[in-house]
Amino acid sequence: MKNQLKNKFRNFILEYPFLNPYGFTFDRMIRNLTCRSRLLPDVIIVGNNKSASNTVFYNLIEHPQIQGSSRRENRFFDANYWRGTNWYRSYFPTKSAKTRFEKKNSELIILDCSPTAYLHPYAANRVKKLLPNSKIIILFRNPTDHAYSLYHHRVRMKVEPETFENCILHDQERFDETEKKWRNDEVREYSWKDLRLSYVSDGIYFNHIEKWFSLFPKENIHCINVDDLAKDPIYVLNKICRFLDLPEYLFNNYVKKNVNKEDPRKETYKPMKPETRKKLIEFYKPHNAKLESFLNKKFNWDV
């Protein structure tokens, strides 16, 4: 009974963040008071989680003409949409700040990062409604590696009790269960950990990106192969700059963001079982081929 009351109180505070004394900061107060005078982003990284989205975001905002959201992955268009547009605006610069910048410099681009948005069944429509002319960045990681990385991310969070092989076995069931909760608006940021995610279905990329391409012009969407980022990050970042009509930049302070490797307390996970990897590679082959044909882009993931 005590734990039930504690959880109810916790969820109430999370539902009404303005009442949370532990979450109060002077910066948040000012941002909340000035939310109506704040900007919305020009560009959004919408996918995918565990695919170097943080690396791209944090390095791009090193560019003098790019400024990012004050909160990493605010997840407005999927798990925080219920909070409303003013809540979303509070994380971005003011209109006057942009005006002052552009009087002295060139154009200022506002960047957001919401890598779980590409999975949500309604997120693309929500972005189109609020930001009809926005530019979209999507990152693609080898789906076999992505599935295993996301699984171990959840294991480290202590929210995934099953083996990877068992998760694969019940992947469609897990996908249907999560999809139903999304469509019924039952998912909140604080309840995300309670979902039984479908690690394999997340990597059938075409099924998730088709809706984005149906809503936004192709020239407004920039797709990145994470393998290319690993090989030549500065080149990839400058391709994004060109996509945003910005001058190239040296990115001398380039840093690869990897939460697991940055924290020595977290163990790196063991390699995937060879038979499991072979099974997933075979499963993804037709889906990868469909994605490559659609994007006219070769990924070389089938090995």
Give residue limits of the domains in the chain. 1-33, 40-295
CA distance 295 to 80: 30
Its pTM surpasses 0.85: yes
Over residues 60-105, the pLDDT tens digits come to: 999 999 999 998 888 999 999 999 999 999 999 999 999 999 998 8
Q: What is the pLDDT of residue 32?
A: 82
CA distance 272 to 126: 37
Torsion, Cα of 163, 155, 74, 147 (10° steps): -40
Angle ∠(224,38,58) on CA atoms, nearest 5 = 30
Sign of CA dihedral 188, 189, 194, 195: positive
Flag the least confident range among 56-65, 120-129, 176-185, 188-197: 188-197
Torsion, Cα of 81, 40, 216, 145 (10° steps): -60
Domain at 40-295, CATH from 3.40.50.2300, 3.90.1150.10, 3.40.50.300, 3.30.70.890: 3.40.50.300
Over residues 224-251, the pLDDT tens digits come to: 999 999 999 999 999 999 999 999 999 9
